[in-house]
Structure 1
Amino acid sequence: MSTQLPPQKKSWSWRSQAFRGLIYQIIAIGLIAAFVWFIAHNTLYNMKIRGIQSGFDFLTSPAGFDIGESLYAFDSAQPYWQAFLVGVTNTLRIAILGIILTTILGTLLGVGRFSRNALVRGVCYAYVEFFRNVPVLLQLLMWYLLFTEVLPAASDAWTLGPIFLSKGGLSFPIPVWATGQLWALIGLGLAIVFNIFYLKWARRKFEATGKLQSMFWVPVAICLGGSLLGWVSGGAPMAFDSPIKGEFAIEKGGSLTPEFLSVLLGLTIYTAAFVAEVVRSGIQSVARGQGEAAAALGLNPGQSMRLVMLPQALRVIIPPMTNQFLNLTKNSSLAVAIGYPDVVSIANTALNQTGRAVECIAIVMLVYLSTSLTTSLLMNWYNTRSAIQER
């Protein structure tokens, strides 16, 4: 017969450690709030006596400047808040694509450090030691000078089929939007959902029977098949807007500017060197006996790395990998040095025109704080999902 202890009453005495901790927390929060209020009040007072305008009302005024690169149309008559939105989308373009490319390249380099081929190991080692020891700003400038000084002019652009590479950037054909493209995206989305269930089923079957299912080519085939089926269902549109070589510029088609390519390549190559070291250290943290056990089961080195070593290394890899993702996002602010119109560049222009320095800097801080917290939240969720469950 179990005896249930009576619930303990909360003690509001100063002798209670919990009560003292609560009081200390309230005092700390109060001091922080008072300090923030003092800084804000003092700043606004000094701005007022000096005749400096303050407030965010300028966001609804016409921006009065154009933006050279945007995912959607923007002109000088539109308000400042839309200009900031363009800067935010440009920053997110770099951050999202950079994180994806950095993860792929860094993982390949980290795994390559364990290759049996001495040349592959040497190349991966040299890559890491070179690029992580060169400041990222210098790398951005190097890529920008390469695109703007070394590459030929538009009239002499390097050509690979319908693709052109010149000082104006990379130009390529893009499909003319039609119903077929929409259905292709829907088919791709459904294929991705199906792949999630397929991969879970494949892992369960592997753990239960030891029979290995395709974890790469089958999902790729499903995605391609889903997209193709949706494209055909939408009428299979074949129209493309192809670039045309002009005398001074490449016209029509899609394009990536030298500034965008310089920032993306610079940040990806730089951060991948750190990610490679994170992956290498994570794999080395797995006991060597795990690889020997995988070999005893008949798995080749590639299967052993993908199915045994990397899954166990994730618990070590993910936390420092999150830091590298955050560093890449924050380092994108250096894009202002080569003229890429990210949120920092837009804020600088708005600051010079309106004089609202505190407000513009606050917006930039809020953008980077939001993106960093969102990235951390997603990676913490993934870290929880990837954690090894103790029995």
Structure 2
Amino acid sequence: MTTNDSKAPVGAPRRRLNWNDPGVRAVVYQVVALALVGWAVWFLVSNTLHNLQVRNISTGFGFLDREAGFAIGESLIDYSPADTYGRAILVGITNTLRVAALGIILATILGTLIGIGRLSKNWLVAKVCSVYVEVMRNVPLLLQLFFWYALITENMPGPRQAYHPLPGVFISNRGLKIPGLEGNSMDWILGGLVLAVIATILVAHWGKKRQEATGQIFPLGRVAVGLFILLPVLGWVFSGASLALDVPQLKGFNFQGGITVSPEFAALLAGLVIYTAAFIAEVVRSGIQAVNSGQWEAAGSLGLSRARVLRLVILPQALRVIIPPMTSQYLNLTKNSSLAVAIGYPDIVSVVNTMMNQTGQAIEGILIIMAAYLTVSLSISIFMNWYNKRIALVER
């Protein structure tokens, strides 16, 4: 008997390319789709570069090193018109981050209180919170910004007739002026505050582990207050106690010295906080209602007050439902800050718009704005996703 070596080895038959095979069709469709997208991108880029070249419009980001030549109303960092466009863009980014960070903190606090208030057994409190949510969610944010800006600038007196509720505090149509601190010790004091935050986080983590092991509650609140007082004071002492109070004074037609909260910043912050808090309130309310009612009853049977039950039992469980939609609200607040250009606050959009009008680098300017918001949004998403995984239940 002879053996036939041409026969295929025993086993699964080899898969041949066949158009009737769904897997083959799926690969072909994906390759075609990718090719079409690549062609579309190439066509748009090449067509844009050709049109810019025909009109003798320069491209690239070399203009960022040129002198800006325009002033910016307010800035957290030093800036003058003699600085570069790159420095001006940095000022716009810091202004955007400032209003976004403060807005997220204040909107979270206000929204949480209103969300809890909607579930209050007090009829008046629940109805007031419900009316707030329904009204603020259905009035466009841009109109709210115009309202707050007009309220501050049109109904406030001028600097000479400014309200003077407290010593060194003035409220006028130029904004809010409050006393500020100046001197070489400021950096040390800020460093002490940063250390206090880090120390509080570490102590809270240690206190939680200690409570799990011994059952004893660590007085974190009192320790945190002590750290936030002690560490900045130590920084002030070690730096030579070089610190002075800068009180604003009326000179000419405006105030000099102190810290200024501009009408544009105040209106933008108020609009973002009040608008976003209405959405956060609904997120918090739904998260609390997602917790089984038996948790309330079980905790109440232990003699805990309703406030302690909410703080110690309900809210920690509700966070697992609250965090994902809360992330979306934080992203919305950050992106909605771009409406600042409508009331004259110098955020990244306003600064880049001025830059584009001077240089004609429209494409580069839009790319800078897109990159700035993309970076901030992804950073918020990464942090919130990390926190969401940290508090999520671990299945065994």
Structure 2-normalised TM-score?
A: 0.88
Task: Name the structure 2 match of 1:166.
Answer: 172
Specify which of 105, 125, 138 is matched with residue 120 of structure 1.
Answer: 125
Task: Name the structure 2 match of 1:340.
Answer: 345
Q: Given the alignment of the two structures, is residue 83 of structure 1 paired with residue 102 of structure 2, yes or no? A: no
Specify which of 306, 316, 326 is matched with residue 311 of structure 2.
Answer: 306
Counterparts in 2 of 1:13 and 1:302: CA distance versus 1, 3 Å: farther
Residue identity matched to 1:291: W
Task: Name the structure 1 match of 2:387.
Answer: 382
Residue identity matched to 1:44: L
CA deviation string 1:268-302 (max 9, x = no partner): 11111111111111111111111211112232222
Residue identity matched to 1:126: V
Matches within 5 A, 1:197-212: 197-207=202-212, 211-212=216-217
State the alpha-carbon separation in 2 of the partners of residues 182 and 47 from structure 1: 47
Residue identity matched to 2:140: P
State the alpha-carbon separation in 2 of the partners of residues 91 and 207 from structure 1: 41
Residue identity matched to 2:65: T
CA deviation string 1:312-341 (max 9, x = no partner): 111111111111111111111111111111
State the alpha-carbon separation in 1 of the partners of residues 239 and 79 from structure 2: 31
Q: Given the alignment of the two structures, is residue 153 of structure 1 paired with residue 158 of structure 2, yes or no? A: yes
Counterparts in 2 of 1:207 and 1:300: CA distance versus 1, 3 Å: farther
Q: Which runs of 5 or more structure 1 residues have no equivalent in the other structure?
A: 1-10
Q: Given the alignment of the two structures, is residue 243 of structure 1 paired with residue 266 of structure 2, yes or no? A: no
Q: Which runs of 5 or more structure 2 residues have no equivalent in the other structure?
A: 1-13
State the alpha-carbon separation in 1 of the partners of residues 119 and 215 from structure 2: 25
State the alpha-carbon separation in 2 of the partners of residues 187 and 18 from structure 1: 61
State the alpha-carbon separation in 2 of the partners of residues 21 and 297 from structure 1: 60
Q: Is the CA contact (8 Å cut-off) linking 1:137 and 1:334 kept in structure 2?
A: yes
Q: Given the alignment of the two structures, is residue 61 of structure 1 paired with residue 66 of structure 2, yes or no? A: yes
Q: Given the alignment of the two structures, is residue 252 of structure 1 paired with residue 251 of structure 2, yes or no? A: no
Q: Given the alignment of the two structures, is residue 111 of structure 1 paired with residue 116 of structure 2, yes or no? A: yes
State the percentage of identical aligned residues: 52
Task: Name the structure 2 match of 1:363.
Answer: 368
Q: Given the alignment of the two structures, is residue 323 of structure 1 paired with residue 336 of structure 2, yes or no? A: no
Specify which of 215, 229, 234 is matched with residue 224 of structure 1.
Answer: 229
Q: Is the CA contact (8 Å cut-off) linking 1:231 and 1:237 kept in structure 2?
A: yes
Residue identity matched to 2:201: I
Specify which of 89, 92, 116 is matched with residue 97 of structure 2.
Answer: 92
Coordinate RMSD, CA, aligned: 2.6
Once the two structures are TM-superposed, the CA of residue 184 in structure 1 deviates from its matched residue by 2.8
Specify which of 285, 290, 297 is matched with residue 285 of structure 1.
Answer: 290
Matches within 5 A, 1:5-16: none
Counterparts in 2 of 1:230 and 1:61: CA distance versus 1, 3 Å: closer
Once the two structures are TM-superposed, the CA of residue 348 in structure 1 deviates from its matched residue by 1.5
Counterparts in 2 of 1:257 and 1:52: CA distance versus 1, 3 Å: same
Once the two structures are TM-superposed, the CA of residue 95 in structure 1 deviates from its matched residue by 1.0
Structure 1-normalised TM-score?
A: 0.89
Counterparts in 2 of 1:18 and 1:102: CA distance versus 1, 3 Å: farther
CA deviation string 1:104-150 (max 9, x = no partner): 11112112222333332222222212211111001111111111110
Residue identity matched to 1:175: L
Task: Name the structure 2 match of 1:35.
Answer: 40
Q: How many residues align?
A: 381
Q: Is the CA contact (8 Å cut-off) linking 1:66 and 1:76 kept in structure 2?
A: yes
Task: Name the structure 1 match of 2:196.
Answer: 191
Task: Name the structure 2 match of 1:294.
Answer: 299
Once the two structures are TM-superposed, the CA of residue 64 in structure 1 deviates from its matched residue by 2.2
Q: 1:379 is paired with a residue of what secondary structure?
A: helix
Specify which of 109, 127, 134 is matched with residue 129 of structure 1.
Answer: 134
Task: Name the structure 2 match of 1:7.
Answer: none
